[in-house]
């Protein structure tokens, strides 16, 4: 008997106790973009959340998990894939349950009993406190130039590890700006995670977003998180275009070039320069100067005419050239010879947006580009400007001088005057001109006639100036 009892005990000790499949623990985790897991018991509505179970004897199988609320109401079913002793669910969208506490429930086979696990509170107490534009020294700024980086600084409260969406909007119209990386119609939406209640992201305004010839643009940064989260916009940041040519000045080469193209008129016998009417009927004096010129305008000398011309070309005309290059959207600094050519174009026509617009659009600039711009009657000048613009002019002559034969403002008009008639006679075998007289009231007086002749003449300069760029 004793032997039989011993044998029975031995058999029972060899029998294994079978452990059923079961869940031993559960947790809620937040998954970062880098795939790192963080255990949580609270989450914001926009968080990327998963459920992780520790299980026994379920490797290679899947588990169905039901999410329930505090009132035991079933909210959603998710699947979890088992690998070893861990079951990880698909991503759980929790934005619909703001203000609720939700729990994990696992039931049905292969488990012998229901399991209720970890609790998660979906809070919405965090907020965006402030949004501001800063420079790289963390100082708040109100304006910046295109292509210069600026930092968007977002101050938050209770939003650590929460992803923020930052949209860049045009002020007032709230028109979203196009994506600068993908060059598509997508909105610019920057993603950043708050860290210690501060989130920062560098942003580079691109002038390609806006019309090349538009005014400076005010933009805002609108920051939000989650579907139920708060939204806050920054103050306006004015994005200013860069004035690449604000310091350009016309060179002595350019001054000589325009003087050659304009010429000096009208020089009278008394040495003074008098006004004249150009081919369009505009009163003009000196080197093509028209602003404020009347029939009575007189300059004392050639020197005064050149100094007035030089002051004006380095003043209003140079300024106009800079202005047009800026407002038309030219995004590079001009070469000196290019700028001098533009100044000549401005001096001759004042407004030359058609040509500068093509430069701004980075179109190919040809001789025809210049000729097509008000080329009627000015073809040679437009060709010369193109030659200068492409640095093909190596020298210019001194200015031509137009002289008037009388001390009037007749300009290019003919002169009408009275002269004594002459006649040809032969004396001593030679033909000579003799004045003709006539008798008037018994007296011999010169016989006069009216003649018309060209009232001006041209003197070409013999001086030559070498241009070096």
pLDDT in tens, 403-423: 999 999 999 999 998 999 999
CATH 1.10.530.40 fits 252-397, yes or no: yes
pLDDT tens-place string over residues 215-270: 677 888 888 876 545 678 888 888 888 889 999 999 999 999 999 998 999 999 99
Which residue spans of the chain are classified as CATH 1.10.530.40? 252-397
Give the separation between CA 256 and CA 400, rounded to whole angstroms: 12
pLDDT value at residue 208: 63
pLDDT value at residue 118: 94
Give the separation between CA 442 and CA 432, rounded to whole angstroms: 27
What's the burial of 416, exposed, middle or buried (CB within 10 Å: 0-12/13-18/19+)? exposed
Give the pairing of strands 101-106 and 115-122: antiparallel
Give the pairing of strands 443-446 and 283-284: unpaired
The overall pTM is greater than 0.85: no
Distances (CA, A) of 382 to 186, 371, 386: 44, 5, 6
Tokens standing for residue 439:
């008798």
Which residue spans of the chain are classified as CATH 2.60.40.2840? 127-240
Residue 289, SS3 per DSSP: strand
pLDDT value at residue 379: 92
Spatial CB neighbours of 311, under 8 Å, sequence gap ≥ 6:
none
Residue 319, SS3 per DSSP: helix
- pLDDT over threshold 70, residue 175: no
pLDDT value at residue 181: 36
Give the separation between CA 272 and CA 183, rounded to whole angstroms: 63
Instruction: Out of 149-158, 167-176, 373-382, pick the least confident.
Output: 167-176
User: What confidence tier does 10 reach under pLDDT thresholds 50, 70, 90?
Assistant: very low
Tokens standing for residue 148:
């210069």
CATH 2.60.40 fits 19-122, yes or no: yes
Do residues 245 and 325 make contact, with C-beta atoms less than 8 angstroms apart? Answer: yes
Percent of the chain with pLDDT over 70: 87
Do residues 212 and 361 make contact, with C-beta atoms less than 8 angstroms apart? Answer: yes
Give the pairing of strands 74-83 and 86-89: antiparallel
State which CATH number among 3.40.50.150, 2.60.40.2840, 3.20.20.120, 3.30.56.10 fits the domain covering 127-240: 2.60.40.2840
pLDDT value at residue 147: 74
For residues 391-396, give the mean pLDDT: 96
Residue position matching structure tokens 């018309």? 452
- pLDDT over threshold 50, residue 338: yes
Percent of the chain with pLDDT over 90: 52
């Amino acid at each position: 008997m004793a032997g039989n009892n011993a044998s029975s005990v031995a058999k029972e000790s060899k029998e294994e106790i079978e452990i059923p499949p079961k869940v031993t623990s559960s947790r809620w985790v937040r998954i970062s973009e880098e795939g790192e897991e963080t255990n949580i018991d609270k989450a914001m509505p926009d968080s990327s959340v998963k459920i992780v179970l520790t299980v026994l004897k379920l490797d290679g199988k899947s588990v169905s998990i039901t999410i329930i609320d505090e009132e035991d109401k079933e909210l959603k079913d998710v699947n979890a894939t088992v690998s070893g002793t861990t079951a990880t669910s698909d991503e759980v969208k929790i934005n619909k349950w703001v203000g609720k506490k939700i729990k994990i429930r696992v039931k049905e086979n292969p488990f012998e009993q229901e399991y209720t696990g970890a609790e998660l509170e979906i809070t919405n107490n965090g907020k965006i406190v402030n949004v501001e534009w800063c420079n790289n020294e963390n100082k708040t700024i109100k304006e910046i130039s295109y292509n210069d980086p600026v930092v968007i600084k977002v101050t938050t409260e209770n939003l650590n590890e929460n992803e923020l969406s930052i949209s860049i909007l045009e002020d007032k119209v709230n028109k979203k700006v196009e994506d600068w990386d993908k060059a598509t119609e997508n909105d610019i939406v920057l993603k950043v995670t708050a860290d210690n209640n501060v989130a920062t992201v560098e942003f580079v305004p691109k002038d390609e977003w806006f019309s090349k010839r538009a005014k400076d643009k005010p933009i805002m940064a609108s920051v939000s998180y989650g579907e139920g989260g708060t939204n806050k916009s920054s103050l306006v940041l004015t994005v200013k275009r860069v004035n690449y040519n604000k310091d350009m000045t016309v060179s002595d080469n350019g001054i000589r070039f325009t003087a050659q193209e304009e010429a000096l008129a009208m020089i009278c016998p008394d040495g003074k320069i008098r006004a004249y009417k150009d081919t369009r009927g505009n009163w003009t004096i000196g080197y093509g100067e028209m602003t404020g010129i009347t029939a009575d305008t007189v300059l004392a000398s050639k020197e005064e005419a050149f100094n007035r011309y030089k002051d004006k070309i380095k003043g209003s005309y140079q300024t106009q050239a800079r202005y047009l290059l800026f407002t038309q959207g030219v995004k590079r600094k001009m070469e000196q010879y290019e700028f001098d050519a533009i100044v000549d174009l401005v001096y001759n026509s004042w407004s030359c947006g058609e040509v500068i617009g093509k430069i701004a659009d980075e179109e190919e600039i040809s001789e025809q580009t210049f000729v097509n711009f008000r080329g009627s009657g000015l073809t040679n000048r437009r060709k010369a400007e193109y030659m200068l613009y492409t640095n093909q002019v190596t020298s210019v002559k001194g200015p031509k001088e137009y002289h008037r034969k009388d001390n009037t403002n007749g300009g290019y008009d003919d002169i009408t005057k009275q002269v004594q008639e002459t006649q040809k006679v032969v004396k001593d075998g030679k033909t000579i001109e003799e004045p003709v007289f006539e008798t008037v009231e018994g007296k011999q007086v010169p016989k006069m006639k009216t003649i018309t002749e060209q009232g001006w003449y041209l003197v070409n300069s013999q001086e030559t100036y070498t241009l070096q760029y």
